[in-house]
Every structure is written in structure tokens, then in C-alpha cells.
Amino acid sequence: MLSYWSKPQEVVDIPPAPAGFMWPYECEQWRKEQLKGLSHEDVFELRARLDELDQEKGHIVANAWLVEVVERYQLLNKISVMRPYVQKEAERLAKRSRQDSIEWLRGVVARLRFCDKMISELDGAELSKWAETKRYEFESGMYGLLVNEGRAAVLKWVEVHLKEVGVSFRDWDDEDKVVAMIARMITPEWWARQAKKQWRVVESILRECGEVHNGASPYLSKWGLNKFRKQQKANAEFLKGWEAVNQNDEAFTLEDLSSRGVSNPFIRRGELMARVRGTEELAVEMEHVGYFLTLTCPSKYHAVRKNGRRVGKFYKAKCPDPRRGQTYLCNVFKRIRSKCKRDGVHFYGVRVVEPHHDATPHWHMMVFGEAAQLKTFLAIFKHYALQEDGHEKGAEEKRYDIKYMDPAQGTAAGYMAKYVCKSVDGEHIEKDIETGRNASAMSESITGWARRFGIRQFQFFGGVSVSVWRELRKIKKDVGAVIKPIHEAADKGRWKDFTKLMGGVFAGRNQTLKLHYSEEEENQYGELVSSIKGVARGVDVYVTRFYDWTIQRVGSGSESSSLKNGGAVPWTRVNKCTGPSFGLRNQPTGSGGGGANVSTG
């Protein structure tokens, strides 16, 4: 006999369960159906509370309570390892509004579901197994449709699966591009990449749960930081275990080659600072003035305040993630540049993207130009900085900041150095001002944040091509009198002289030298692609890349050599993607273990 049966039923104004009155066996059957699929711990907890309500208020009230709370438990039961964080946040929201809590939970479950799995479950061996299964299901289903129903059915099949993983594809009328997309989709690597992109959803949800702020884990959640470290370790092992071999049987590990490019934080920081310093020197020579600008997002993009309190507008705006914040900032700057172009206002400089403690992005900019023109620029900047939600409290003080560059108080390069160093590797800085913590440790979190959300940290606007600069620095022989001054400026790291010789900061498309590309060749997906071969001035071409490279496991072919033990080999682009199991029109690609040829580099 159920404990509530002898208790007089209290009449209250509540929505009934399936019926206001039920016989004991009916009630028990209904409750079992409601609790079906929940964990033993959840069932035990809910049963205990039901028993209490049965005794205190009767089974009608108890069943009505179960109707209100059971969906929350059902949703929480689907999110496995993330449950502790999500449950805590759902309970916090429920104190304010049960409906808001349930709607947020529904959204969390919907976002975490990727194809037929929960994103949080796709990792390591499970991810590899899932990717291979999806590849096989897609490929076998496609060939079945091709044989039985024809091309239209295959295209529909491809379209459905692209939508399932959130990939946008518009070139349905271009058969070559359709075939290339299919060639990618029949590889497990493609499916694994799509799943990994969804890890940013997990990080966003943890941010919504209050796991990313100065009082918890600044810039990146502990889960995200751990994931980033694992990925860095896996990347390092990959670079050590693979090598690039050219047509002369010279082999170099990818680790050696990577250490000599801008992937190396030391080289990256040095190049950025050389460009910043050169841009400032050029501005001084042209008697231009400069300003330091800061641009940040409206309050609805911020999840947590510095004091640890949540931002209500963030939840009302459907919890925008850092990518949406970065999109907002890019759109603001796009409007500023468009307005300046219409009004004939010219400027140049650099911007650095950093996260606030709660992972919301903001920009620091160094802008130069003629004094009269920058006066107009600043008015335009203020207007668009406040165009969205400019009426909210504190917008004038917090949404932007403008400081005049006074040469008597220091150099622009010195001002920007702290932002560059903080965002690269934390070298030369003791403490992170935003969090008060060790700069080197916070630099790791900032880099992980940028990688997780696909945010470009540094960008110069105006100026000349850094790609030409990098190509010229590869040339170690005499280039002749025509481009010798530009080559020397690049080789010796003189960005100011390089910019002047390339046509100046406002050269645009009329720069002295441009990149020169190879003729188009088919890649492993049947697409026609070209790669950088050197630089050109009119019809004169200066080759900087002389070798064709093949990527293979270390020791699987040619004898390996080290960069330290021979002549310097020009740094070249290499393609690290593996080929599909079946290539264009079902032809073997040669991928899988023996290496794959890549385009001329």
C-alpha cells in the first residue's frame, strides 16, 4: 500500500497530473513512466521527495510537483560529465524563474547534441571510432543511393549530412566542388574535425555556468585549459613523428621546420614587435599623430562582472559566446572603415584582441594618420562604438577609450609590447593586470581561448604585405639590383624601410612586389589549387620555394637529416591533411601510411 493512500487529499489550485485522482496502482505506474530513463541516484532523490509530499499534502500535489521538476532531471541525465556544472546553474536560474531554467536547460542539451552523440562524449578513442562509423555510414549510404535512385538523391544525402554537422555549402551547381566535398566527407578525419569544432560549445556552456571568470578560471575554463594542453601535447608528438622529404631525398622533421617559422612564439613575438616599431617610426617620419584606442562589447556580451556577480542582460540575450562578441567588434570596425573610406579619411595601425576575465573579447588598437584626418576618424569611431546599446548605463565610460600618443611619455611600441607579449607567451611581463595572476600562466589561457573560439589575435590595417616580407627573408643569395634594397630591408628586419620601398602605408594593391603563385594542380580531393612560389615585380619573378615536399612518418622512407647539419632549406608550405580512403571518382589516393604527395611548395 502506498504511503499517501490514507492521507486526506488537499484541494489546491494547481494543474493536475494526468488526472486529479488516481488509484494507487495507476499512480505508481504513471510515476514509473515519468522516472523512466533517469539515473538510480535521481530516482532515489525524487522518490524520497515524493514520499514527503505524499505524507504532507497528498498524491495530487506530489504528482504536480513531479510534473514541474522531472523534465529538468531528464535533461540533466543526458549531459553526462557536464552535469555538475549545468545542474548548479539550472538550480540558480530556477530560483528566479523555473521556466527560464527549463528553457536554458533545453538549449544546453540541444547544443550539446552533435549528430547522434553528445559532444562531451566525443574524445580520444571514442571520437576516432565515431568518426569512422559516420564515414562508413555516409559513404555506403551514398553509393546505395547512387545505384538505386541517381544523382539527385545523392546530392540530397550530402546536403542533409552537411546540415547535420553545421557546414554551409552553396556551390551545388559546381560539380567539381561537390565532388571535392564528397571526397572529404568519406574520410574519418573530416568528421573528427567537425566534431572538434563543437568543443567550443562545451566551453561556452561552462562559461554560462560561471566557470570562466577571475574568481574561478580566467579567460578559459579548467576543462578548456586541460583540453588545450592535451591538444598541444598531441601536436608536438605529431610534429616529432612526421617529416617532410623533398625531391633530393632531404628530410626534416616537422618539429624542426615549425621551430623556424612564426609558429615559434619567440619568432612570432619578434616579428610582431618589428612591425609595430617600424610602423611607429614611419609615422614619426611622416609627422603623423597616433592614438591608443580600446573597443569593447555591450554589457549583454559579458557573462560575469569583476565582482563575480552574473550579468542579467547576458541571459536575456541568449548567452552570446566569445565568437559572437568578436563578430560584433569586427562589424563595428567594418562600419568605421567603410565610413572613413566614403569620407576620404585615411589611417593605419594594428589591433590586438584580448579576452576580459570572463572570456568576452575586446580590442586594443594603435592608430596613426594626419592630425586633421584622425580628428574625423575619432568622431566616427565614437559614433559606431555606441551605435548598439549606446544608451545603457556606463556606455560612455566603458565601451571605448581614447588616449593620445604623447612621445614624451613613451613609445607606441612600448605601449603595445605588453599586449603582444601577454597574448603570445607572457615573456617580459611579471603580472597580468586583468587578473593579477602570473602573466606566463595567463598567456597559456589566452592562447587556448583564441584557439578554441577561432579568434585572430593580431591584425595590421593599412601598410603592406607581410607575406612578401616573409618570402623575401627566405632568399639567402644575390637577388640582383632591381629588388635588392627591398630584400635587404626585409632580411635585416627594417619594417619602416620595407614599407616605404613597397609603396608606403597607403599603397594598397599598388605595392612594388606581389606574391607569385604556381600553376594550378589537383590536390587529393580533385580541386585545382595553387601555392606560393615566390614574389614578382611585373613580369619579373623571384622564386623563393624550390622543392616539392612529401609528408611521411619519420624513418618510413628517406634517411632523416637535421637543419643543423646542412645548408639552410627554404621554409615551405606543407599540407598535413591525409587523403580520403576513396578519391575523386573512386580512384585510390595513396594515403593511409606511406605518405601523400602535396602541391609544389
Catalytic residues, which ones?
Answer: 415, 419
Pairwise CA distance, residues 461 & 273, whole Å? 15
Handedness of CA 553, 554, 559, 562 (dihedral sign): positive
Query: What are residue 550's DSSP bridge partners?
Result: 245, 597
Pairwise CA distance, residues 157 & 31, whole Å? 41
Q: Are 299 and 185 a contacting pair, CB within 8 Å?
A: no
Tally the C-alpha atoms within 13 A of residue 405's C-alpha that lie toward its C-beta: 25
Q: How far is CA 263 from CA 21, 268, 448, in A?
A: 70, 7, 14
Pairwise CA distance, residues 443 & 378, whole Å? 31
Residues 6+ apart with CB under 8 A from 504: 464
Kindly state the cell numbers that stand for 413.
Answer: 611600441
Kindly state the cell numbers that stand for 331.
Answer: 562589424
Handedness of CA 81, 84, 87, 92 (dihedral sign): negative
Q: How far is CA 448 from CA 207, 231, 269, 286, 498, in A?
A: 14, 10, 17, 39, 33
Pairwise CA distance, residues 501 & 82, whole Å? 56
Angle at 297 between CA 295 and CA 303, to 5 degrees: 140
Q: Are 376 and 343 a contacting pair, CB within 8 Å?
A: yes
Pairwise CA distance, residues 101 & 109, whole Å? 12
Q: How far is CA 183 from CA 147, 167, 179, 552, in A?
A: 18, 15, 6, 21
Q: Which of 225, 213, 210 is nearest to 358 (CA)?
A: 213
Handedness of CA 353, 354, 360, 364 (dihedral sign): negative
Pairwise CA distance, residues 70 & 137, whole Å? 35
Could you tell me if residue 22 is left (phi over 0), alpha (psi between -120 and 50 degrees) or otherwise beta?
beta
